[in-house]
Structure formats: C-alpha cells, structure tokens
A and B are shown apart, each in its own frame.
Chain A
C-alpha cells in the first residue's frame, strides 16, 4: 500500500514522454520506424537535445523545444513522444 511505485524498470529506457516540465534530454534513437521518418525531418536527430516545454491542459499533446542554438518548438502527442528514446 505504501510502497512507492518504481518509476520504470532499469531495462526500460526513458523517452521524451518521461521528461518533467523544463527537463532536457538527448535523443538516443527513434523506436517507431515510420514515425521516425517524420521526426527526423523535423530535426529530432539522434544526439539532439530536447526539452519538455509544456503540456496541453489534458496532458496531451505536449510541446518540446528541439535543438540548443537555433531552437524551435515542436508539438506532438504523448504516444508520439514515447517513440523518442533518450540517452
């Protein structure tokens, strides 16, 4: 009852979906091949930094800031964010 749920098993890699507001991460790889094509074109290249910028009032979609110097804001659904695996 009082056991705190473990966030995710160590085997489960973190994805953009798991970022907290304002937290940054570096993209490691993209899980869904078809979605990856779209995400790559939008600049979500492995090695790029992404920061969780905001969530829609109902928790989905979210916006992330892509890149460090020439950054821009991308909005995507949580299910789509889950395919972006972080380092």
Chain B
C-alpha cells in the first residue's frame, strides 16, 4: 500500500518492540483522522480529554450549526492523530440536530472530513444497550476499535466480561479501560496507531425483499455496503450532502418498493438486540451482587424529595450565586485595576488621538470583556461539577413539569438562574438543552432576568425616588422595590417564553426519554478543561464584537461635526471661569459640553422626540446610547453629562440627579420619570456581550437581531405606559 510508513515503536506501555504499521491517512499530508463516538454517559468526554488534553479546538461542522470539537493526540512518539469528538448518541438514526452531524460525517466517504476509523466507547456495566450503536457502525463497514469503559463499575455490579471471547464475536480489538483514571489509555493509543480493518462480522441481515431497492441505491451512489444504502433509504430527506435530484431518486425508489421507514427501523433495532443477546450469552456472566438498593437510589430519595429536593437545589443555587457575585468580585477587581493601570501608564507616557482610541476605545472595550472571565469561569466550574456528578439530570427531572408549561423544559432552569448573575455565561450554558426549540426559547428569554450589571442603575434610581423607609421593622421599602424589579424581569421572561411557545413551529419532537445517570465523583481534569474552553470561546468570539462596538462608540463620543467640539470647549472654559469653578469643575464641565457637541450628543438630540413620551430628554438619550454597549456604563455617562466628574461615586451622581431641574424649575427626576427609566432598564437589551453570545450560540444574526428588537420594543412600550400613567 502506497504511503505506508513503518515506525519502530519503542517499548511503550507493555508493547514489545514490535514494528507498528502506521495508519496511512486517506489524504496525503493530513493527520490520521479518528472519530470518537458513543452513548451519552459512556465516558466519551473523559476519553477525549485523556487523549487530547488541552490540544482542543472548537469549530463548526461544515454547513451545520453544531459545535465540532477536535483535538490532536500523540499516539506514539512519532505519530500524531486528529481526534474528532462526535455528539453522544444511542444510535445512527438521528433524533436531534446534534446527532444529524454524525450521519452527515459517516455517510459520505468522499468527504474530506471522513474519519480513517472510529473509536466506539461503551459502558461495560451497561453493555447491551451500548453495543447497539457499535453493531450499527460495524455494519456500515467502518474500521473500529471498541473502548470498553467503566470496567470498574461493571466489576462492582458483578458483570464479568470475557474480553477474548467478546473480541472474537465482535471482530474488532477491544480495550478494557477506565477512562476517568486513565487506565487503558496507553493500550488504546497503541491500537489506534495501527492499521485497522473493517470488522468482518455482520450483525444485522437486511431482509431479502429490501435487497432490490438497496442494490439500486448502492449502484446509483457507488456505495461500498448494503447497510449504508439502507440508511440512505431511511434518511434521504435529512442527509445534507445529497442533491435535490439524489433525494428525488431515492424518494421514487422508496415509493416504488413501498418502503416504510418507521416499522423497518423498529424491526432492525429489535433484531439487533436479539443478536446482541446471543453474543452476550456466551461472553458475559452476571453474578447477582447485593445491589437491590444502589447508593445512587438512596441519594435520590433525599436529593429529589418533594421538600428536601427543592430545598437542597435552592441551597446549591445560593452557593452558586454567592460564588458568582461575591467570590468572583475579587479577581474581577484585580482585572479592572490591571486594565486601569495599563491605561494610565499609556496615558501618562503618550498622547494623541490614536492613544485615546487605544485607551478609551480598545482597552476600555477589552477590559469590559476580560472582567467577565472570573464570573464565567466560576459559573462553568459549578455547572461542570453538577453535570459530571449527575446532579443536573436530577434538577432537570424535578423542574421539567413546571418549566414545560411555559414552553421551556427542565434543562432551562440553569440558564435562567445563571442569568441573574450574567446573561453571557447563562446563554452559553443553554448548550445542555438538546431540543432546538426549547433551547432557542431559553436563549431568547434569558437576558430578561435582571443581571448584576443592572444593579448600579437600580440602586441610583431607586435611591432617588423610593424613600428609605422601614417596612415591618426589618425590611426596607427600597429592598422591596429592588426585589420587585427582579420579579418583573422573571415574570417577563416566563411570559415571553410562553408566548414564543405558541408562536414557534417546529417539526422536532420534544423527548424526555434519557438515561438517568448514577452519581459519580467529578473528574477535575474535565472540569478544568470545560472552564478553559468556555473562557476561550467567550474571549475570542464575543470579544471581537465588543471591541468593534467600543471603538465605534468611542469615535461617536469623541468627534463632532465641523469644529463644534473646539467651540464647545472654548465656550465651556470661559463659562466655567466666569462662574468661578475650580479647575476640576471646569474639566468636567468641558467634558460634558464636548459630549453634547459630539456625534453621540447629536444623536441624543436626534432621538429626543422618540424618547420624550417616555419622559426622557437628550441627556438620558446619550446614556441610553452609550449604555447600549453595557448597562453599567449608564452611571458613568450620567456623571459625565451632569458634570459630576469622572471619579464621583454613586452618591454624588444621585445628588446631582436629584438637584436637576426641568424647564419649570421643578425636580426633573420625578417618580414617573425614574420608574419609566427603571422599567426601561429591566427590559432593554443593552448588552453587546449578550448579543455576541446569542450570535455565537445560534450561529447567525437572526436570533440576536430578534432579541434586540423584541426587548427594546418591550422596554419602550413598558416605559411609555409607566410614564404616561404616572405622570
């Protein structure tokens, strides 16, 4: 065979100094491509992480909006291979968009992405169900190796597997392993480094009456195997690389032969289980151990109890919030100070418009991205641990019934709750929802939950209009107002979800049929890799968009038509001197006047007619514009406009706002205006990071744009209603 290189394997992990025949990549110059496939909970992620470590990349599968995780593994000192992690699946008949990726990859031998062979992971303690997928892959004629994972659990359960006999029955190499502890990895790598043949064994005999149709498909598409042709007949509507003509051809054949997909598929599954039972009869013996009440079940008695279950869940949430709010604030402050330090370093040493762009635009924007890293890392650490231990499946189980009423599902709980900290990691955590519609609804409504960035706006405005008055001795009226705003956000999220449930159409059926995993200790390496992966994804994907907007906003706020800015500066300086301001007061007065003359200021005046019915003036208009990038910018912009000075704390902003007068000399921030503004901030989508996250997660502009329009519309009309009713 051309292109085969011989590699002398040094005595690695028990291998005698044998000559290993390296796998010849199908495409010269490319690495050997190995696909990793298996049931959910079969330890696939652990195996992938063990093989690739941090050499992982997340990209898109060509043409589909599903994540594609790849990594490079050093199989022998001389040989590296590309590992593709495929979504967990129970069979080759896809039930979700995620699973469709697998069939698209494995059905097209001419594709550049086609793997040289597959590693099938199977849970040894649950071999019967795990072998279903294996027999399908074997019948497709794919060269394969079976990684028989969780041998320790199987042994505990009294399951004894005769590996040699099973190897003979299945016709492929079998590596017994414990991927969580790294046992068997070395042996698997050695087998992976060798040339693998397609298994000679067939597990399912296609019925004779189907053969004429199968043969026609086979010859038309030049396929190498009958079972693959059968899959074309089953799934021709879904296979994305088939042309409309191809589909029409199969469609006609299916009609002509009266091929009924659903009963055939059911028959096939039953037949496969029958042959798996035969195989297991000779190779697996189960000694009945005392495990009538496994400890998982006993834990569940408490953790999914109708009282304790919910209380413990609340406790876990509380801990999570505590972490994201309190613990994350220290590293966040460090990052903030670090960026400020670099900024001042540059500002004191250099000058000029480019330096301003760098410090006020690029670095300010970058700081706005980097500051979220601790929150994202902590939130995903929690979520990864909850997933790894199997507790998340229990949360889903307890919440499904409640959430389903509103068009969400059990798994939407995590994103919604994380949204109170920050919508960005929350939207990323919606990944765990397999059902496309449920996931889109969840992503869509999550930003309505009041995130931590709204807190400065809430406190300043509530402090302005709600009296500091005790209620029932221990509570405070302001506290109630704050809670009311959070509730308002939550109710809006749930009702919006419900409305979307009625509006959205989907062909995908929502299932809850899933394996209920046993409790396990988390693998810290997996948790660590998840954190690094999510942080990287956020910084690079969302970061680009935020940076672009920050630069744009900086330009708008720093430049104005003609020489209006200089004129404004001159005017402000003379005015300030005439009024006897201090130097600092003059500086902030100048800053405020310049902002009004900038393009951003002009924009504020331009949109004033549109926001006047809400009770807002052009000054609030600028704040709305600038805080579109991020809500917390509101307080900063208000301080600039009301010339409080850049370093003023919230209290002075509040006092300044309180003393602001309207044209009639009355206080400008009336309860009507303040509540209108508050409601606007509860609903409006003023967060570039969130839009960027939605863009990344939905892989298109449709959802972020809809989200922006919907939330801004909701904010506008609610604020309008509040102002007009309270005025």
Contact = CB atoms under 8 A, between A and B. Distances in A.
Given A61-B401, A69-B286, A74-B514, A38 B95 contact: yes
A24 interface: no
A3 B265 CA distance: 46
A56 B286 contact: no
B397 A70 contact: no
Band of interface residues on A: 20 to 34
A35 B269 CA distance: 13
Interface in A22-59: 30, 33-43, 45-46, 53-54, 56-59
B513 A72 contact: no
B398 A57 contact: yes
Interface of B: 90-91, 93, 95, 125-129, 132, 157, 159, 262-263, 265-266, 269-270, 273, 284, 286, 288, 296-297, 300, 304-306, 309-310, 393, 397-398, 400-402, 410, 509, 511-516, 518
A36 B93 CA distance: 13
A43 B401 contact: no
Given A40-B269, A42-B90, A74-B515, 13 more contacts: A33-B262, A33-B263, A37-B93, A37-B265, A41-B91, A42-B513, A43-B129, A46-B270, A57-B310, A58-B398, A61-B410, A63-B516, A70-B159
Contact of A40 (B266, B310, B398, B514): B266
Interface string A50-82: 000110111111010001011011111100100
Contact of B514 (A59, A60, A70, A75): A75
Contact of A38 (B263, B398, B513): B513
B567 to A, nearest CB: 68
Nearest to A53: B297
A54 B513 contact: no
A56 B400 contact: yes
A80 B262 contact: no
A70 B262 contact: no
A5 to B, nearest CB: 24
B75 to A, nearest CB: 32
A37 B269 contact: yes
Contacts of A73: 296, 515-516, 518
Contacts of B516: 63, 73-75
- Top 6 closest A-B pairs, CB basis? A57-B306, A73-B516, A40-B269, A69-B286, A58-B401, A75-B516
Contacts of B509: 34
Given A40-B266, A54-B304, A56-B401, A70 B513 contact: no
Given A53-B297, A54-B304, A56-B397, A37 B513 contact: no
A60 B297 CA distance: 17
A9 to B, nearest CB: 28
A58 B129 CA distance: 29
Given A58-B402, A60-B401, A37 B262 contact: yes
Contacts of A39: 513
A75 B511 CA distance: 10
Contacts of A34: 262, 509
B347 to A, nearest CB: 58
A68 to B, nearest CB: 9
A72 B515 contact: yes
A80 B263 CA distance: 19
A69 B288 CA distance: 8
Given A41-B91, A67-B128, A70-B286, A57 B309 contact: yes
A72 B269 contact: no
B126 A70 contact: yes
Contacts of B126: 70, 72
28 contacts: A30-B266, A33-B263, A37-B265, A38-B513, A40-B266, A40-B269, A40-B273, A41-B90, A41-B132, A42-B90, A42-B513, A43-B273, A54-B300, A54-B304, A57-B304, A58-B398, A61-B397, A63-B397, A67-B128, A69-B286, A69-B288, A70-B284, A73-B296, A73-B516, A73-B518, A75-B397, A76-B512, A77-B400
A23 to B, nearest CB: 15
Nearest to B261: A37
B74 to A, nearest CB: 35
Nearest to B310: A57
Contacts of A42: 90, 129, 513, 515
Contact of B266 (A33, A53, A77): A33
A72 B130 CA distance: 11
Nearest to B132: A41
A38 B91 CA distance: 9
Contacts of A33: 262-263, 266
Contact of A41 (B93, B127, B159, B286): B93
